[in-house]
Every structure is written in structure tokens, then in C-alpha cells.
Structure 1
Amino acid sequence: MKEISAGGVVFRHNEEGQLQVQLIQDRYGKVSLPKGKMEPGETVEETALREIREETGLTGEIVSEIDQIKYQYEHSSFGLVDKEVHYYLVKAIGGTHQAQIEEIRGVDWFEPMEAWRRQRQSGYDNNHRILAGALRQLGYQVTV
């Protein structure tokens, strides 16, 4: 069985013109990125934007693709699942910034290098290269 999810690294420029990157805190207390499963009839891009909107309250527009994460896991009913997660660099263009408390604990904006520090300190290892790729596209040099 194959399962496809999508999400993104959301960014904005605040009132002072400073670049900020969004991170979420998931239900396990880990730093993460908004993402979720593709629904029937959706494109991968539509999934990414819907999941960002549902989890963070923000509408966005895709700037570019960042990368994909692929792995396998054992599902109790379906057996071995091939999981594919597509990540995009997404510019925040509207909405009200708030966490979907049913799925995540919190959502906030960070200066890019602070976001990188938090990711390295308490994020999932497979998200290191996703956030690093987004930061590189935004003009910051980081190494995984």
C-alpha cells in the first residue's frame, strides 16, 4: 500500500520586514512542520495548502518544492505501507494564525536561525534536510 502526505515550510515577513519561519509543536511535544494525508481528488499541492490551513489557520501560496521524505512503516490492518511526504516552501498570504488543537499543541513564528536551532534541538531527524532546504531557498546557509 502507498500513502501520500504533503505539507510545507511556511514563511512570512513580519510588520518590521523581518523574515520569519513557522514551526509547529506536535501532539508529542516535538518541533515539526504542518503536513497530512492526501484526500481523494486532491493534488499533492492542494493537500499541502489544505493541511497548512487546517493545522495553522493560514492560507498560503506555494513558492517551490523543497524535497520528499520516503519511508516504510508497518500498519496493523494494511501491513507494510510505503509512505511519501512532499514538502513545499509556502508563503503565508492570509488567514488567522492559530493551532488546530485537536492535532497539534502549538504554532509560532521564528527568526530563521532560531527555527533551525529549535529543529536541530527537538525536531524529527528526517525534517532536518527539509527545513535546511527551505532555509537555503530563503538565502540562509545551514548544513545538516
Structure 2
Amino acid sequence: MESQPLFVTPQTYARALNVLGEKITVLADRAATQGYEVFLQQGPEGSGPPPHTHEWDESFYVFAGHVEFNCNGTTLAATAGAFVHFPAGTVHSFRCGPGGVEMLSITSHTSQAANLFTAIDHEASSMPPDVPKLVEIGTRYGARLGV
């Protein structure tokens, strides 16, 4: 399929997905870009994924707020204007700071993140999280928790 131009506005965004307390809006999935994926992530204070790894690169650009990224045991504090990149296979997590965070995330061409986030929203959005269900969903889409 030939790639087509894509134009999204806040009025045309898809419904935000509930992923472990975060609101994640899919701005562009692999079908739309024929490659990478782009997401708007809005997380309240204390939200964020546990340590995990996946088969795709992932980058974050922080628009507003404070977020602490953890990578291989190192904590990186990020505020507005910060850019963070994790290569595929890197163990990482993050926790949204006081007042929450708004950031853009971009994944590489092997990403299954849109499918992963959609499955979590549909099958495991209750809190506290159903960890065995999250592990099963992650396995389905190339992500591993608690590694």
C-alpha cells in the first residue's frame, strides 16, 4: 500500500486510550505512516509503566511537566524540552511527576505499540492492574514486563 499524506488535528484525534492511568492518543499508527508510530501521552502524577522492554526503539519529547525515566538502573529527570531515546531491547520505565506530564512518543518501524495500547485499554484498563493479563498482552505484541 502506498503511503498517503496524514493530517490530524485535536478535533480529529481518536479517543484517548486508558493505559495504566495514562491517556494515550494514537496520532499515527504503522498503517498510516507505513513505518513508525506517534502518540500523545498525558499522565497524571504517579502514573507510568513498570520496567519493561520491547522489540522497537522508543523516543519521548516532553512538552510539559516533569517525568523520571529509569533506564538500566539509572534515573533521568526530564522536564519540558527534554528528549529521551531508548533503543529496542532497553529495559526502561517512567513515573510522571507532580502535576503530571504531557509528552510525545515516537516508535520505530517494528513497533506494535498502538496494538499494545489498544489491547490494554480494551482488556486491562482497571486499576490496580491485572498483572498476569498485562504480561499476556505484552507477549502478544512483543513487550515484556518486569525484566
Instruction: Please confirm whether the aligned pair reaches a TM-score higher than 0.5, indicating the same fold.
Output: no
When the two structures are superposed, what TM-score results if normalisation uses the length of structure 1? 0.27
When the two structures are superposed, what TM-score results if normalisation uses the length of structure 2? 0.27
Higher helix share: 1
